[in-house]
Structure 1
């Protein structure tokens, strides 16, 4: 498949829905070979079939990136299957509501594991192969919640603030190896991410927020990712804040 990313190999986590799915489709449409990872194997299989039907090449890697061994292994599997890894998009993420005083520490722990530590695992595994081949791109999907804390969603904001710090530190660390690092911070985007919120009231409110008129679509964020990757190697977009054109009021 011809395109601006022809010849590149990408790995996308959280690819069974939302921004991850949109990124995988956009990368494939731009010519990249794409390995896709997520827990829902049936959705990954369907995604691979769609990419292949459009003339692309893809590989499904089902599993949970919270498992450090699995997260590291999907990087290895991608390199083994396609000979290299040029692009890593960390899109796996979850939201939970909650504050600090009466924190549900199990929920806090799970959010931090998925949104921050799982990204650390894949990044750690990807840097070596990218360094050996002379460069690459790592893109971590965050949120406007990583810039502005929201008390009702303490676990989520905390994980995204942490992701911002980790990503910027990594950019400074690996730029000398030709590895570009970017954090993408979307505003309200129509995805399924709110569906897993355990509190029914906050779940309903967040579902309404991300689906209201003016909210972005996953493909909007995916197109922005392809833009970042398409720039000359000397240019590193380190932070990309992307919001709906129509002001969608925060929670």
Structure 2
């Protein structure tokens, strides 16, 4: 049920962190993978790792906030593989600040990447999925779509708002596209050590001590611990799961 042999997966934000991990997991499950991100040199390293599994991979530079860039990238993927069965909308940014300190530019940056990016990529992938009457779309939101934190390091109001918007978009897409055998679901990771968090949250031992004390699991997420949920929502194991939000946070949202 989790076998992705013969499938083509497209991952945005695939140059590092959770996106790169998921891309490799897709390959290990049998899929060929299209890697999209702005940093072409980092995509090449991920591509080489995937090719070691025996699966095909292509690296496509793409800025998910730019419609022409997205349109060209999706066209390149379809030209290379002929289809897109799985779309992991993973590209995202986390801008710190509250409404009293954020600039309009920072607010727009959050929504342009975290929400508009999903809209633009889906806009050019969904028609092909509708035509083939099959598709699995997984949107990476955040546990911070439904909870917030008073820690100075975690005051990210534009992040909270944009990730909550991802949930609304996920539900709308799920309802509209279920008739085409396309499932659309979202995942809400909590704290994982990635390129994005290593230089901020993981640098503060005081913050980590507090996080570990409050989290039932007593720790942040480890490398690879998101992959099971990604594979579940990307495979036929979740064929009757539609418009859902699965939080992967060690139980942190429970307290």
- TM-score, length of structure 1 as denominator length: 0.88
**What's the offset of the Cα at 1:195?**
5.8
Q: Is the 8 A contact 1:195 1:207 kept in 2?
A: no
User: Are 2:181 and 1:181 aligned?
Assistant: no
Q: Is the alpha carbon distance of 1:196 and 1:114 closer, same or farther for their aligned partners in structure 2, counting shifts above 3 Å?
A: farther
**What's the offset of the Cα at 1:54?**
1.9
1:107 equivalent in structure 2: 106
**What's the offset of the Cα at 1:149?**
3.7
Separation of aligned partners in 2, 1:108 and 1:54: 40
Q: Please list every run of 5 or more consecutive structure 2 residues that lacks an aligned counterpart in the other structure.
A: 213-217
Separation of aligned partners in 2, 1:233 and 1:194: 30
**What's the offset of the Cα at 1:203?**
8.5
Separation of aligned partners in 1, 2:20 and 2:237: 25
Aligned length: 243
Separation of aligned partners in 1, 2:205 and 2:95: 10
**Aligned equivalent of 1:190, options 190, 193, 198:** 193
2:165 equivalent in structure 1: 162
1:67 equivalent in structure 2: 66
**What's the offset of the Cα at 1:51?**
0.8
Structure 2 matches for 1:238-249, cutoff 5 A? 238-244=244-250
Q: Is the alpha carbon distance of 1:39 and 1:82 closer, same or farther for their aligned partners in structure 2, counting shifts above 3 Å?
A: same
Separation of aligned partners in 2, 1:248 and 1:171: 24
**What's the offset of the Cα at 1:49?**
0.7
Q: Is the 8 A contact 2:37 2:63 kept in 1?
A: yes
Deviations 1:154-208 (A, max 9, x none): 01101101111111111111111111001001111111223687xxxx7955995
Structure 2 matches for 1:91-106, cutoff 5 A? 91-106=90-105
**What's the offset of the Cα at 1:73?**
2.3
Q: RMSD of aligned C-alpha atoms?
A: 2.6
Deviates more, 1:78-87 or 1:185-194: 185-194
SS at match of 1:220: coil
Separation of aligned partners in 1, 2:172 and 2:80: 30
1:226 equivalent in structure 2: 231
Deviations 1:107-130 (A, max 9, x none): 111111111101110011111000
1:6 equivalent in structure 2: 5
Separation of aligned partners in 1, 2:78 and 2:124: 11
User: Are 2:92 and 1:89 aligned?
Assistant: no
Q: Is the alpha carbon distance of 1:160 and 1:52 closer, same or farther for their aligned partners in structure 2, counting shifts above 3 Å?
A: same
**What's the offset of the Cα at 1:9?**
0.5
Separation of aligned partners in 2, 1:179 and 1:249: 30
**What's the offset of the Cα at 1:231?**
3.3
Q: Is the 8 A contact 2:12 2:88 kept in 1?
A: yes
SS at match of 2:225: helix
Q: Is the alpha carbon distance of 1:171 and 1:141 closer, same or farther for their aligned partners in structure 2, counting shifts above 3 Å?
A: same
Deviates more, 1:71-80 or 1:110-119: 71-80
Q: Is the 8 A contact 1:164 1:183 kept in 2?
A: yes
